[in-house]
Chain A
C-alpha cells in the first residue's frame, strides 16, 4: 500500500530538499536519460526556473514521440452538485447555501444529446460527495444509461470501496480521477473539516483500491494553491511511481487544477504563475514519458493554446461545471468558473491550425 511508502517521507524534509537543489542538480537531471524522483525534484525546484527553455524542448520532443501530433478531447458531465462535505475551496461545499440539483435520467439524456452533438465520444462524469443521492446505485444507473452513447466513460466522484469499483468497471467505467487535493496532512484536515472526505488516509488509499479492482486508467493530481505546489507535486510523482510499478496494467494521467474563483471562495494560499505551471508540466514529462497530462478549461485561452505543444496530451473544451449546464439548467451553480469559454469546434479548429489532430475517440466499448 502506498501509505507505508508515504509514511517514510517527511513533508518538511522533502520541501527542504527541493528548495536546496542547485543548477548542477538541474543540469544533471536534464542530462540523464532515465530520470529518478530526485531528478524530478530538481526539475520542479526554483533552481530549474532558469532552464525552462531546454526543459520545454525535451518535453515537446518526448511528447511528440510518444503521443504524436494528437490531442485527446473530453468533456465533463456534471450529474449532481449535492455534497455532504465541507471543503474550503469548493463551490459545492455543504455550507455553501446554493440550490442543489441531481440530474434525472431524462435530464442526463438531454445533456448527452448536446454533448454528442458537439462531437464528443469520451465523457467525464462529475458529482459532489453525497452518498444518499449519488451513491453506487446512482452511478450504476448512470453508466447503464450512458454506455450506449459513449466509447469511454470516466468518473470524478467521491472515493469508493474496492467492491464498488469492481461493480462499476464491468458496466463501462474506464477511468477514475481522484485527486489527493494536498499531501500535507495537517492542511488537508483544515480544508476538509466535515464529511467523509475529512479522512486523509481513505483518500490516499483510493488509488490502491482502484488498482486492485482493475481500473483501466487513473487520474492523479493535487489542487494547486492549497499548499506548496512543489512539495505536493513531488508526492504526486512518488505516488505515480509506486502505482505504475504495482498496478502495471493501469494507465495514469496527471491534472494540474489551479484554484479558481467560485461562490464562497477561498483565496489560494500559494499562487502558481504560468511559468511555474509550464515548469511543472515539463518536469512531469521529463520524468515520465508515458503519463497522460491533462489541462482543463480552468486555464485561459492563450495559455492553453501555447501549452499544448509542451507536454499536454488531453484537454476539455466547451465545458460546463454545473449539473444540467449543457441543456437543462444553464443557471445552476458552477463548481468553479471556467476561463476558456471556446466551443469544442473552436478548440478543434485551433488544434488543427497548430498541426494537431483532435482525437474524439480513442477507445471502444467492446474493450470493456
Chain B
C-alpha cells in the first residue's frame, strides 16, 4: 500500500491523475480511466457542453470515486482564465480548477506571468487552484506563496511522450515545495511515471500516453502499476547510488578490532 495523497483537504489513494483528450471514443476513455484507478480527472471546458448539458464526455466520468478537475485549456490570458474558471465552477459544481494558460498554440507552453496573476486572483475567489507550469522552481514557490493547492510542472512538452526532460528542475521543485507536486505533460511511458514517483513527485498526470496507444485499457493498467511501484520505492527509500564499488570488507574495518 502507498500513502494516500491529500490536496486541499481531499484525499486520494491513487496518485495517477488523468486527462480526457484524444481518446477514440468516450466509452474507451471511461474504460481506460476506470482501469487506471484514477480519482482525479481533468476535462477541458472547451470540450464539454456546459450550457446545454447534452455533452458526450461528462456522463462517462460520472463515477463516485472520480473527481472532476475542469481545466482552462484554450485561454490566453489571466482574465480569460478567471472567467472560464468561474463558468466551470458554476456548471460543474466544483471549485477545483486546473489553471492552464498557454498563449502559444503550437507547443502549448504555459505563460508564467499570466498564470501567476490568475492563480492569485482565483485563490482569492475561493478556488482550489492547480496550475500547469513550466518546471520553474522559482515560479512554483511564487505560486505556492499566492496559495495554490499544488503545482503541476511539466516533464516535457504536452503530448510529446518524451518523459522527464526537466528532471533536474523537477528535483529542485520537489525538494523545496510545501504543496503537492504533480508532474504533468510529457509522461509517455509507465517507466517515466515510475521515475517521477521515485523522485518524490506526489502524483503524475497522464493523457496522451493512454489515449493514443493501441490498447488504452492495458496501458492504463500498466500506468497504475508503475505509479504505485514508483511511489512504493520512494516511500521505502531508494538505496543510494554509488559512483564507485563499495568493498564488502571495508579497508578501515580493522579499526573496530583493535
Contacts and interface: CB of A to CB of B under 8 A. Distances in A.
Nearest to B79: A368
Interface residues of B, number: 31
Nearest to A63: B212
Interface in B29-80: 45-50, 55, 74-76, 80
A77 B118 CA distance: 37
A290 B23 contact: no
A65 B208 contact: yes
B24 A69 contact: yes
B73 to A, nearest CB: 9
B22 A69 contact: yes
A340 to B, nearest CB: 22
A60 to B, nearest CB: 11
Given A66-B159, A366-B84, A366-B87, A248 B104 contact: yes
A68 B55 CA distance: 19
Give the interface SS of chain A, mostly helix, strand, loop or mixed: loop
A242 interface: no
Contacts of B107: 290
Contacts of A250: 105
Nearest to B158: A66
B26 to A, nearest CB: 7
Given A249-B104, A364-B74, A357 B24 contact: yes
B157 to A, nearest CB: 10
A364 B49 CA distance: 8
Contacts of B75: 367
Nearest to A66: B159
B25 A352 contact: yes
Interface string A353-365: 0011101011110
Nearest to A355: B24
A49 interface: no
For chain A, which range describes its interface: under 10, 10 to 19, 20 to 34, or 35 or more residues? Answer: 20 to 34
Interface in B106-156: 106-107
Contact of B211 (A69, A151, A359, A364): A69
B23 A69 contact: yes
B191 interface: no
Nearest to B74: A367
B74 A68 contact: no
Nearest to B84: A366
A355 B23 CA distance: 9
Contact of A290 (B21, B26, B106): B106
Most A C-beta atoms less than 10 A away, residue of B26, B48, B50, B211: B211
Interface string B11-25: 000000000011111
Interface in A328-368: 352, 355-357, 359, 361-364, 366-368
A290 B212 contact: no
Most B C-beta atoms less than 10 A away, residue of A65, A357, A362: A357
Contacts of A68: 21-23, 208, 211-212
B47 A359 contact: yes
Nearest to B50: A364
B84 A65 contact: no
A69 B212 contact: yes
A188 to B, nearest CB: 29
A355 B212 CA distance: 11
A144 to B, nearest CB: 18
B84 A251 contact: no
B80 A244 contact: no
A249 B24 contact: no
A295 B158 CA distance: 26
Contacts of A69: 22-25, 211-212
Given A68-B212, A355-B24, A364 B105 contact: no
A67 B22 contact: yes
A356 B24 contact: yes
A14 interface: no
A64 interface: yes
A84 interface: no
Contact of A70 (B22, B46, B161): B22
Nearest to A121: B49
Contacts of A368: 80
A68 B213 CA distance: 9
The 6 lowest CB-CB distance pairs between A and B, nearest first, are: A68-B22, A69-B24, A251-B105, A290-B106, A249-B103, A355-B24
Given A69-B211, A290-B106, A362-B47, 18 more contacts: A65-B159, A65-B208, A67-B22, A68-B21, A69-B212, A70-B22, A70-B23, A248-B103, A248-B104, A248-B106, A290-B107, A357-B25, A363-B46, A364-B74, A364-B84, A364-B87, A366-B83, A366-B87
22 contacts: A64-B212, A65-B212, A68-B22, A68-B23, A69-B212, A70-B21, A70-B22, A248-B103, A248-B104, A248-B106, A249-B76, A290-B106, A352-B25, A356-B24, A357-B25, A359-B47, A361-B46, A361-B49, A361-B55, A364-B74, A367-B74, A368-B80
